Amino acid sequence: MKFFIDTADLDEIREAASWGVLSGVTTNPSLYARTGGRLADFEPHVVRICEACEGLPVSAESTAETTEGMVAEGRRLAALAPNVVVKLPVCEESLPACHALAAEGVRVNMTLVFSAPQALLAARAGARYVSPFVGRFDDVADDGLAQLETVVDAVRNYDYGWWDEEGGPEIIAASVRTPNHVTQAALMGADIATVPLAALRRCVRHPLTSEGLAKFAADWKKVTEG
Ligand code: G3P
């Protein structure tokens, strides 16, 4: 499984990149708003993210509400850097936009996917990435991992004729909050997990690792101070 970081914060992106595990970045309007950024700086910020992660795919989301607007904004975002992936929310307006952009060679990440039919339609329309959400199901007392598995199983049943040479469409497990989300997404074969830095840190840490380290340190002290 590949790890993307789910943030628009440059320091967080640089931190995750320094670990040597990063394969991409996903952003969304909420994540950009969290940085304190304003509209005028949005596109320069996307460029800064693209430069910070040196060619890795960076999803930048269109906020247009019409097909024409999404295509125009998608072209504009894609022109910012070669590693921009245009993120579109799955809906009737975005399917034709995704199809048009994919036909021009623009990679699209279809987001806010909450069902297998949405994922199948996104893949058929030419999405390079399909992003089913996990945690937001859990937020409403549903089973996000079971929902993710349904999407993975359904999408994997078919070939789509788009992005074959790149191994696409790839499924990004999104709205990932916990190490168990990562474990289960990997076991079911999701290609990518996009994870906030705080959750990535929780994936690295384990109480038994901390306990083991403390014991090694205490025992080594006996050796060195013996
Ligand atoms: O990037 C989309 C998704 O990962 C958002 O996650 O935590 O806001 O549900 P979350």
Q: Does the Cβ of 99 fall within 6 Å of ligand 1?
A: no
pLDDT above 90 coverage of the chain, percent:
98
Ligand 1 atom closest to the Cα of residue 135 is 9
pLDDT in tens, 23-53: 999 999 999 999 999 999 999 999 999 999 8
Residue 54: the pLDDT is: 86
Please, which pLDDT band fits residue 226 given cuts at 50, 70 and 90?
low
Whole-angstrom distance, CA of residue 67 vs CA of residue 59 = 18
CB 83 within 8 A of CB 56: yes
pLDDT in tens, 46-99: 999 999 988 999 999 999 999 999 999 999 999 999 999 999 999 999 999 999
Mutate to test the pocket of ligand 1, among 4, 133, 200 (most ligand atoms within 8 A of CB): 133
Active-site residue 215, yes or no? Answer: no
What fold characterizes domain 1-223? TIM Barrel (3.20.20)
Please, which pLDDT band fits residue 118 given cuts at 50, 70 and 90?
very high
Strands (E), the chain: 2-6, 22-26, 58-61, 84-89, 108-113, 129-132, 170-173, 192-195
Measured in Å, residue 223 CA sits from the centre of ligand 1 at 48
Whole-structure pTM value: 0.96
Residue 151: the pLDDT is: 98
- What is the average pLDDT across 8-31? 97
Query: What residue segments make up the domains of the chain, in order of their start?
Result: 1-223
Judged against a pLDDT cut of 90, whether residue 197 lies above it is answered with yes
Count CB atoms within 10 A of the CB of residue 99: 17
Residue with CA closest to ligand 1 atom 4: 175
Judged against a pLDDT cut of 70, whether residue 199 lies above it is answered with yes
